[in-house]
Structure 1
Amino acid sequence: MRKLLIPIVVILIGIFFSSVYIIEEGNRGVVLRFNKIIGLSEPGLHFKIPGVDNIRLIDAKIQTTDSSNNSGREQKFITREKKDLIVDYYVQWKIIDFDRYYETIAGGNSVENLLLARLNGRLRAEIGKLDIKDIINDTNAETKSRNSLMLKVKDALNGTKQSTVKVKEMPVEDLVAVAEIDPENITSMRAFGVEVIDVRIKQINFPPEVSESIYDRMSAEREVVARDQRFQGIREAEETRADATLTATKILSEAEKQARTIRGEGDAYVAKLYADAFSKDLEFFSFVRSLKAYEHSFNGSDVMVISPDSDFFRYMKLNTNIKSNKK
């Protein structure tokens, strides 16, 4: 009896461990019975029928898909001005219907590829309605801005609840076939069990052939601005120099005026001093004045023709008489 008990216990332990499975946080488990979905397992400890039920783990976290997943090809879009743009973007999405999502991927389809195809189609339609300045404009305007464009694309990808219910009645393979033919005709990504949370444009570039012409035009415009700035600087420099010259001339003129006024006042004061001094002795004044006249008159080899009895020689005669009396 004991020999039979041990194998039975081992078998029961094996059955127990084969029927227990754990779903980690952030994941969900789709329960399949004979390849048909019979339920969804939340995170935690669960049981299944060994050998009958299979569990397929699905990542329930928010997913991010980048535009670089487009087979490595640059996505060109045409604006309303018929200008080519290369747009780099990403989209965040999550699974809201795990049964529908599993049906999609079970058929060998990629939800990311379907999402990118749908997203490219909607972006192409929305960018074609706007000018370049509207796409670059990152504001919250309701009509023409990058933010409004991304909101419209997100709403278009999610669709309405009524359209989602109607589309979900269609088989997944039929929806995938329509998506491959014309992505813009798909009503909602919810039809594949996913919901778009956010769409963001990371970078907008021009194609290389367009960028060169734009850079050349910008360079020419900057050259014109630089030339205008240089001319403006030269004009302001000339005006500054002219103002400085005018100011200097005014200062020098005022200084010369003040100097002449001071010199005139000084000469007048000196003349007054002389007048006051000589007025006390007129004979001495006449004598000094005559000496000055002699000093300036008898200079070098100048010849003077004048009468000896002239009053000019009065003090010279006086000096001669003084010397004769001394002898």
Structure 2
Amino acid sequence: MRKLLIPLVLILIGVLVSSVYVIEEGTRGVVLRFNKIIELSTPGLHFKIPGMDSVKVIDAKIQTTNSSNNNREQRFFNVQKKELIVDYFVQWKIVDFNRYYETIAGGNNVEDLLLARLNGRLRAEIGKLSNEDIINDSNADTKSRNSLMIRVKDALNGTHHETVDNTPIDKLVNDAKKDPEASKTSLRAFGVEVIDVRIKKINFPDAVSGSIYARMRAEREVIARDKRFEGVKKAEETRASATLQATKILSEAERQSRATRGEGDANAAKLYADAFSKDKEFFSFIRSLKAYEQSFVGNDVMVISPDSEFFQYMKLKSDK
């Protein structure tokens, strides 16, 4: 009896060990019974039926896939039929582990399917935009790189009615591979959801980059020339306006000065007239003295008759 007890204990221990499994944080366990999914295990300690159940551990963290994962440059054409080399990455996570397992169990690579769909959508969206639109980072502009990435993400995730859970996985995969650009099947149908799409870098092929940059320089030179012409035009307008204002100010000042001088001359004339009317002889004498003062200056020669009235106040009167 003792000999049978030890093997029995060992068997029970083996059964117990094979019945226990641990799911680590950041992962999920898909429990299969005869290759059919029966439940999803969350992180922690779990039990299964040995020999009947098996567990497939799946990474539940956010994953990042780069466009360069397949070691091939992704080339697209814009609306001007110019070739672009686009380097991007996409972040995604598993939202339906059962559906995801059904996809990979059929021999399908979800990352390849994701990149195929993503390249198809990028090709369709980039084909609608010019180089300036793609370079533009404005969120407000519907024609910009940011809005392009948002539209691509929304198209990959799709809407609720585009998520067909009852359709066989193989049919959805074939449809997505057949025409990834026009396919509207949501990636949620494969158990994954796109969180973000980001374009890291956009380059031109070496063969055409020189001509494109030369054209861009020519366009910028035209813009710079127009700006300079606009500046010269505004400067001339400003100078003309300033000259007009200065002319107006000088004219007004001249008018006011002439009016002031006229008033002063009128007042002076009135004063002279008043003085002349009070004592005509004295006023005539003062005027003559001023005339003498202004006339006999310098070496000027005057030819005037001695009997002229000009010298009337310089003559000596004899006593009678």
Fold conserved between structures, TM > 0.5: yes
| CA deviation map 1:9-52 (0-9, x unaligned) | 6764554344322334553334467x845744522443335577
Contact 2:31 2:55 in 1 (8 A): yes
Residue 165 (str. 1) matches residue 167 (str. 2): yes
CA distance in 2, matches of 1:228, 1:189: 49
Structure ranking higher in helix proportion:
1
Contact 2:85 2:204 in 1 (8 A): yes
CA distance in 1, matches of 2:195, 2:316: 126
CA distance in 1, matches of 2:259, 2:279: 31
| CA deviation map 1:116-170 (0-9, x unaligned) | 234434544x3486344898497898xxx734454344449x96527x53455x8
Contact 1:37 1:99 in 2 (8 A): no
- What SS does the aligned partner of 1:306 have? coil
Q: Per the alignment, do residues 268 and 161 of structure 1 end up closer, same or farther by CA in structure 2, a change over 3 Å counting?
A: closer
**1:1-327, aligned counterparts within 5 Å?**
12-13=12-13, 15-24=15-24, 26-31=26-31, 36-37=35-36, 39-43=38-42, 44-50=44-50, 54-59=54-59, 61=60, 63-68=62-67, 70-79=69-78, 81-87=80-86, 88-94=88-94, 96=96, 98=98, 101=101, 104=104, 110-121=109-120, 123-124=122-123, 126-127=124-125, 130-132=128-130, 136=134, 146=148, 147-155=150-158, 161=164, 165-168=167-170, 184=180, 194-198=190-194, 200-203=196-199, 205-209=202-206, 210-299=208-297, 300=299, 302-308=301-307, 310-318=308-316, 321=318
Letter in 2 for 1:262: T
Aligned length, in residue pairs: 305
| CA deviation map 1:71-102 (0-9, x unaligned) | 23321123465332334241524263538726
| CA deviation map 1:274-306 (0-9, x unaligned) | 332232222222322333333344443624341
Work out which of the two has the higher radius of gyration on C-alpha atoms and give 1 or 2: 1
Q: Tell me the TM-score normalised to structure 2 length.
A: 0.70
- What SS does the aligned partner of 1:253 have? helix
Letter in 1 for 2:229: F
Letter in 2 for 1:82: K
CA distance in 2, matches of 1:253, 1:4: 131
RMSD: 4.5
Q: Tell me the TM-score normalised to structure 1 length.
A: 0.69
CA distance in 1, matches of 2:204, 2:75: 8
Q: Per the alignment, do residues 232 and 55 of structure 1 end up closer, same or farther by CA in structure 2, a change over 3 Å counting?
A: closer
Moved more, 234-243 or 81-90: 81-90
Q: Per the alignment, do residues 62 and 83 of structure 1 end up closer, same or farther by CA in structure 2, a change over 3 Å counting?
A: farther
- Cα deviation for residue 63 of structure 1 reads 4.1
- Which consecutive unaligned segments of at least 5 residues does structure 1 have? none
Contact 2:156 2:194 in 1 (8 A): no
Q: Per the alignment, do residues 190 and 9 of structure 1 end up closer, same or farther by CA in structure 2, a change over 3 Å counting?
A: same
Moved more, 208-217 or 225-234: 208-217
CA distance in 1, matches of 2:95, 2:175: 19
Q: Per the alignment, do residues 75 and 199 of structure 1 end up closer, same or farther by CA in structure 2, a change over 3 Å counting?
A: farther
- Cα deviation for residue 57 of structure 1 reads 1.7
Letter in 2 for 1:237: A
Q: Per the alignment, do residues 216 and 302 of structure 1 end up closer, same or farther by CA in structure 2, a change over 3 Å counting?
A: same
- Cα deviation for residue 208 of structure 1 reads 3.9
Q: Per the alignment, do residues 237 and 47 of structure 1 end up closer, same or farther by CA in structure 2, a change over 3 Å counting?
A: closer
Letter in 2 for 1:205: I
Contact 2:176 2:185 in 1 (8 A): no
CA distance in 2, matches of 1:120, 1:114: 10
